[in-house]
Amino acid sequence: MYDTLIEYINSRVSRPLSANEIGILKSNFAPHKLKKRDFFLHAGDVSSYMGFLAKGSMKKYSTDSKGTEHIMSLYIEGWWVGDRESFAKLTPSSFNIEACENTDLLVLTREATAEVFSLPIMDELRRQLDENYSFASQKRINAAISMTAEERYNMLIESYPEFSQRFPQHMIASYLGITQETLSRIRSRAIKK
């Protein structure tokens, strides 16, 4: 698992991690395994961990009063997992985070996060992650308010083609904010083109 994290970091920062930095990462990131349908976080709990997804897939969602899931995020290998607001502000989370497959994570506690991100190379990574998160959020909000369901689906498949192989259609529909029937019609039209 650590090799996956180290490769990920080295591919995104200005220089390779030193042996000392790798040692600090290994002493602060703890391996954590989840089976399919296990929870990383329950709505109402304060998030104690942030995770790096080394293997598997996960979803972050809320549930409305009718019991319908509304998927906020889908995660695959090489993605960071957690509720940033709950983790940073120590507030109860509005979201559940659940494994969609058997999953291997490397997790950081709040205290470990402070040590890891005090490293200049990791602070560089954090700035990139924050910027990418901001861009992705803007793109997602814009899509939700200005694109048709078909345009949102096409953008998702173009940006993350592996999602259609990794997540069931009902999860993709929820993530897009559409019904399964609408997604089925969109996919049908795409196949005929």
| Residue-wise pLDDT tens digits, 79-131 | 999 999 999 999 999 999 999 999 999 999 999 999 999 999 999 999 999 99
Q: Indicate if the pLDDT at residue 193 is higher than 80.
A: no
- Mean pLDDT for the chain? 95
Give 11's pLDDT tier (boundaries 50, 70, 90): very high
The CATH number of the domain covering residues in 1-117: 2.60.120.10
- The residue with tokens 């349908």 is 37
pTM, full prediction: 0.92
Q: What percent of the chain has pLDDT over 70?
A: 99
Residue 127 to residues 77, 80, 130, 131: CA-CA distances in angstroms?
20, 14, 5, 6
Among left, alpha and beta (phi > 0; psi -120 to 50; other), residue 6 is alpha
Q: Indicate if the pLDDT at residue 190 is higher than 90.
A: no
